[in-house]
Amino acid sequence: MIKTTFLWRILLAGFALVGYVGCSSGTKEAGGEACVDPKVVADYVHAIIEADRTLYASLVVERMKYHGKDLVSEDWAQKDKLPLPAQMLQFAGLEVERKGTGLKYRLASLWPVDKTNGPANDIERTGLQAVADDPKTVHTSTIKRPTGPHFKAIYADKAVSETCVTCHNKHSLSPRNNYKLNDVMGGIIIQFPLK
């Protein structure tokens, strides 16, 4: 028993050392070492995406609606209106991807209105299911890409207002029409290279 504990300690110390050595050298100001857990980086990115979406929904869409102006439409381009918050998020994700840093994000679901927003592979399917089962979960994985390892994190996307529920439940292309307030409707998938 004692031997096993000892072995575990050596193993853990080994992992810690690998983690330490694996960190890239940081700025002088940061004491020479800079190493941020990829999950923390994903949390930062997620916070920005969430803030942008919430503010667009409250400061633009809902505020204008309150003043009697229903300015948003799914067919915003044809109808000369503004895009939905979900569409703005997807457009911003594409714009970020075009910057070429390797960072990507998108809104996805196991029950997508737009089929291209479904899971792209088994990892995404498992992750979207995990966040649907428990919205507090952040499903993380490291995946191999031709350019090197990438970190993927999936966060729950919940029906925070009745408008989410109503629009998706009555949408002709929605494969699910029994959403309730606070249900998980999908997830935000964030991915970036680890080096």
Q: How many CB atoms lie within 10 A of CB 187?
A: 29
Tell me if 186 contacts ligand HEC by CB under 6 A: yes
Tell me if 64 contacts ligand HEC by CB under 6 A: no
Tell me if 191 contacts ligand HEC by CB under 6 A: no
Q: Which is nearest to 176 in space by CA: 161, 165, 187?
A: 165
- Please give the residues from 9 up to 48 whose contact with ligand HEC meets the rule CB under 6 A: none
Q: Compare residues 101 and 161 and give the one whose CB is closer to ligand HEC.
A: 161
Q: Compare residues 115 and 195 and give the one whose CB is closer to ligand HEC.
A: 115
Tell me if 107 contacts ligand HEC by CB under 6 A: yes
Tell me if 128 contacts ligand HEC by CB under 6 A: no
Give the range of 36-44, 92-100, 125-133, 162-170 binding ligand HEC by CB under 6 A: 162-170
Rg (CA), the chain: 21
Tell me if 94 contacts ligand HEC by CB under 6 A: no
Q: Compare residues 108 and 190 and give the one whose CB is closer to ligand HEC.
A: 108
Give the range of 20-28, 86-94, 95-103, 141-149 binding ligand HEC by CB under 6 A: 86-94
